[in-house]
Amino acid sequence: SKNYHIAVLAGDGIGPEVMREAIKVMNAVGQKHDFTVTYEECFVGGAAIDHCGTPLPEETINACDKAQAILFGSVGGPKWDHLPHSQRPEAGALLPLRKRYGLFCNLRPARIFPGLNALSPLRADISAQGFDAMVVRELTGGIYFGTPKGREGEGDNERAFDTEVYTRAEIERIARVAFKVAMGRKKKVTSIDKSNVLASSVLWREVVMMVAEDFPEVTLEHLYIDNATMQLIKNPAQFDVVLCSNMFGDILSDECAMITGSMGLLASASLASGSFGLYEPAGGSAPDIAGQGIANPIAQILSMALMLRHSFGEIEAAEDVEKAVARALKDQIVTADLARAMPDAHIVNTVQMGDAIVERL
């Protein structure tokens, strides 16, 4: 039987609680599909700062180097808010991991799940039209990593600067992913830019149009970022695949997640060009409910399913997990965060939710 080896970085807040359930489900689905997953648990984020003085310790990096994938929980909390921004749990852990492993492609599915549109903060007549988008975000370029970046000068003339920069190759690589993903969905790509202002966006649009020629079945639309934030609220149903730069993708993927109203259900994958990837829930570490055993583990479980699919090619196992999750929801078994949408639901805790999903595998 096959074995896969991963690094498990549960992190802070609800991270450890929901991670336990994801591993439980992973072991169960492995048994069914005849594979095992060994894993090394490492500190990351605030927990790593507390234990090792840095959000991404060397031991953690070493463990990740040896792994085929990283299953990531969530990091951060008020405890570490006094630190300089770049050394906080979030940026201090995620940005170096993305860079080190070349995780250029961030996939963030955002959808209103069947029967759950009452969770959406949008008006019922809008959310009822449905929303099922996949944000494809470039993750290792743009203004996040562009140089020069820094500060110079003194007094009133002191200035700070960042460089938004994209090469043709970087844009082409992420655009190809978006079009391929669209081929397996509703065959529509909406590319986001600000090409009336940014030179980088003009190149972005050019390259995306060029890549589109290789995918004649896919409809391509372009939206300026400012218009996109409006269209998402006004008519979310128009979107399928949303292709963005690092910065615009940061903004739009969070807006998309909030539009669903069910952050506790949203997974994400950050992929390298090979099979390596980092998988994490879209939501944060939710320090307000941490330790109470009531957090929704589904986003973490679905992130694990994305790992099975993208890093291990265990497509059937991934689908089994996704179906088991759908079944549990259909059986009205939900954690408290989803209760609003399901007045007759059976409210369970984190562990019971994990169990319910294992039972339905």
Ligand X SMILES: CC(C)[C@H](C(=O)O)[C@@H](O)C(=O)O
Residues identified as active-site = 144, 194, 226, 250, 254
Choose from ligand X, its own copies, none: what does 121 bind? Cβ within 5-8 Å by kind: its own copies
Six token digits for residue 182: 């669209």
Q: How far is the CB of 151 from its own copies (least distance, A)?
A: 6
Nearer to its own copies, 21 or 90 (CB): 90
Q: Which residues are annotated as a binding site for substrate?
A: 98, 108, 137, 226
Binding site for ligand X (CB under 6 A): 90-91, 94-95, 196-197, 226, 250
199 and 168 in contact (C-beta within 8 Å)? no
Q: How far is the CB of 215 from its own copies (least distance, A)?
A: 19
What one-letter code names the amino acid at 320? D
Nearer to ligand X, 65 or 226 (CB): 226
193 and 224 in contact (C-beta within 8 Å)? yes
Site for its own copies, residues 293 to 322, rule: CB under 8 A: none
* DSSP bridge partners of 2: 35
Q: How far is the CB of 41 from ligand X (least distance, A)?
A: 21
By CB under 8 A, tell whether 78 contacts its own copies.
no
Residue 188 CB neighbour total at 10 angstroms: 16
Cα 249 to Cα 50, 200, 242, 254: the distances in Å are 31, 15, 9, 8
Q: Which residues are annotated as a binding site for Mg(2+)?
A: 226, 250, 254
Site for its own copies, residues 160 to 219, rule: CB under 8 A: 160-169, 172, 194-204
239 and 255 in contact (C-beta within 8 Å)? no
Nearer to its own copies, 62 or 227 (CB): 227
Q: How far apart are CA 19 and CA 91, in angstroms?
A: 20
Please state whether the peptide bond connecting residue 114 to the residue before it is cis, i.e. omega within 30 degrees of 0: no
Site for its own copies, residues 125 to 144, rule: CB under 8 A: 126, 143-144
39 and 22 in contact (C-beta within 8 Å)? no
By CB under 8 A, tell whether 123 contacts its own copies.
yes
Q: How far apart are CA 273 and CA 101, in angstroms?
A: 9
Site for its own copies, residues 213 to 252, rule: CB under 8 A: 225-227, 229-230, 233-234, 247, 250-252
Q: How far apart are CA 40 and CA 59, in angstroms?
A: 11
Judged by the rule CB under 8 A, the positions of this chain that interact with its own copies are 85-86, 88, 90-91, 95, 120-124, 126, 143-144, 146, 149-151, 153, 155-169, 172, 194-204, 225-227, 229-230, 233-234, 247, 250-255, 257-259
